[in-house]
Structure 1
């Protein structure tokens, strides 16, 4: 496995300089761990299989990462602490600072912006691992909430208030609206990542239309 392949395999992690300090061997181990965790789930994976797939000795895993949990933390922690907040900041500054002509265009912007990440195979693998931990680990959920930039909540509140004032959105509490968005969009994301359902263009549009209908006054 060459350096070019390794660089391509990390994609969203490399874009945020998460693994710059790792050796090629350590990067191979992390890449193999991402593959195995995504394919089999954390509970059904072993350091022996990860080492074999990485072409490294199992002792290399223990010396750098300690154990299987250490490997998982090396993948998840940067996503929670750096990648996810960076994505949220970028979304808040580029998509939540404009006035949308309709509720449909606002929902479409939210959904399509996030779904772009799934077009990169390894992004989907990392997101699948992250989503699994988000579901099963209260600690990860607490970290995610703590790492959401305050700017996001401020601009999201402002955008929702603007849509309600213009009569384009139901006059519900903003937390209730965001909860509905999370449930509906998160459910689709989960079905794609965890149950290998294909996200077609039609499916994405149906999701956008369903959320738009639910939030239309």
Structure 2
């Protein structure tokens, strides 16, 4: 995996460009956090791999926690909204659009993103469970920005009679739980480098079988 792909994509909006030294620190931290875990990685190890002094890391980031946040927070904020505006326009403008089609496009797009940036995804999934700082960054962003956008999609398809008419919050929890667990299992627990089209289709059909409105639903 080319670590530079990550920063070309998620740090483009930041006002300052990474110096060569910062780039080495970031690459070393991502690699070691992914391999050994955050808690089992020392700043001395990061400094050694990055070929910088440990003092340089503290000068640039202050603490190891700050270094972790500088890696993961931009990734969190890049992961979700990439397809949102485009998808909404397409759905509203095309009466033939389906939720299954949207889910397929979104899932394939995000899996491609994770495949290109697997190590930082592994770091995020492993650490967000234990790090309150990450939860504090992720949960408000998810609740205030991501959730309303996806809820709008759900409402469109419920109104069209494609999905079961159950509370949107419950529907979202079902989708997030399965899709999130599916992706995390493949890339973190099984440490796979990619997910095949067949596996993606199996996941989509599993979700749709549970939430698609059938002729017997009233």
Q: Secondary structure at the match of 1:136?
A: coil
Deviation at 1:194, TM superposition (A): 1.6
Say whether 1:91 aligns with 2:83.
Answer: yes
Say whether 1:191 aligns with 2:182.
Answer: no
Q: How does 1:144-183 map to 2 (within 5 A)?
A: 144-148=138-142, 150=144, 152-183=146-177
Among 198, 205, 211, the residue aligned to 1:209: 205
* TM, length-normalised to structure 1: 0.82
Deviation at 1:32, TM superposition (A): 0.5
Q: Using the alignment, how far apart are the partners of 1:9 and 1:125 within structure 2?
A: 10
**What residue number does 1:49 align with?**
45
Deviation at 1:76, TM superposition (A): 2.3
User: Does the 8 A contact of 2:80 with 2:146 survive in 1?
Assistant: yes
Name the CA shift for 1:161/1:77 in 2 (closer, same or farther; >3 Å): closer
User: Does the 8 A contact of 1:32 with 1:54 survive in 2?
Assistant: yes
Name the CA shift for 1:101/1:73 in 2 (closer, same or farther; >3 Å): closer
Unmatched 5+ stretches in structure 1: none
Name the CA shift for 1:79/1:191 in 2 (closer, same or farther; >3 Å): same
Unmatched 5+ stretches in structure 2: 214-218
Say how many residue pairs are matched. Answer: 206
Among 102, 109, 118, the residue aligned to 1:106: 102
Deviations 1:171-205 (A, max 9, x none): 11111111111101100121123220352221111
Q: Using the alignment, how far apart are the partners of 2:15 and 2:21 within structure 1?
A: 12
Q: Using the alignment, how far apart are the partners of 1:6 and 1:200 within structure 2?
A: 22
Deviations 1:14-63 (A, max 9, x none): 4x344843321121011100111011110111112211111112221122
Cα RMSD, aligned residues only:
2.5
Deviation at 1:8, TM superposition (A): 4.2
Q: Using the alignment, how far apart are the partners of 1:186 and 1:152 within structure 2?
A: 14
**What residue number does 1:61 align with?**
57
User: Does the 8 A contact of 1:104 with 1:212 survive in 2?
Assistant: yes
User: Does the 8 A contact of 2:73 with 2:138 survive in 1?
Assistant: no
Say whether 1:117 aligns with 2:96.
Answer: no
Say whether 1:126 aligns with 2:120.
Answer: yes
Q: Using the alignment, how far apart are the partners of 1:134 and 1:169 within structure 2?
A: 31
Name the CA shift for 1:124/1:12 in 2 (closer, same or farther; >3 Å): farther
Q: Using the alignment, how far apart are the partners of 1:6 and 1:207 within structure 2?
A: 28
Deviation at 1:87, TM superposition (A): 4.7
